[in-house]
Amino acid sequence: MNYNRVVCFDLEMCCWNENGVGTTGEIIEIGLAEIALDQQEIVKRAQYYVKPEKDEISLFCSQLTGITPRKIEKQGRSLENVIQSMTKNFGSTKKIYASWGRDDLILKQECEAKNIACPIGEFINLATLFRIQQRMKNKRIGHRDAQESLGLGWEGRQHSGYVDAFNLAKLALKIL
């Protein structure tokens, strides 16, 4: 296990908002940003678009994430192919993965449902770590608000896996 490197990742999924109720489906984007703790810097970034097998990308989802059906048609690949690229470029269970919330469970569940080996072994939920450090107990806080509360500016469009993973890596460098 490489305890000096942490791969921050963020998932975007197919999503719908019907009568004020939000639901999600298959993964359509995985954003990653790897940090080197000894150098205190982001050393690698990647963005992968995933073609959903069953779900359609709604207008609501496109407006929220900026991911359109056309973008997925042109740049999307199967989840299995994306996982292979992630493993090749970021390593698999030899690295620690981190997200804001339990994106690891979402990825594991979808990989299991599609008979794909999930690359995540060791995992850190940075939202829980942040709440512990800030003595927030049961109060929840969003990623962007947490980051800004530490004086770290947000860069880019929120709800882009690539952008969110980058911002999460900045936050991780501050709290790990």
- CA pseudo-torsion sign 157, 162, 166, 171: positive
Kindly state the DSSP code that residue 64 receives in the 8-state scheme: H
What CATH number labels 5-175?
Answer: 3.30.420.10
Give the span between the Cα atoms of 109 and 26, in whole angstroms. Answer: 10
pLDDT one digit per residue (tens) for the chain, 176 residues: 788 999 999 999 999 998 888 999 999 999 999 999 999 999 999 999 999 999 999 999 999 999 999 999 999 999 999 999 999 999 877 899 999 999 999 999 999 999 999 999 999 999 999 999 999 977 889 999 999 999 999 999 999 999 999 999 999 999 99
- What is the bridge-based pairing of β-strands 122-125 and 41-49? unpaired
User: What is the tally of helices (H) and strands (E) in the chain?
Assistant: 7, 5
Question: Residue 175 is which amino acid?
Answer: I
pLDDT tens column, 86-122: 999 998 778 999 999 999 999 999 999 999 999 999 9
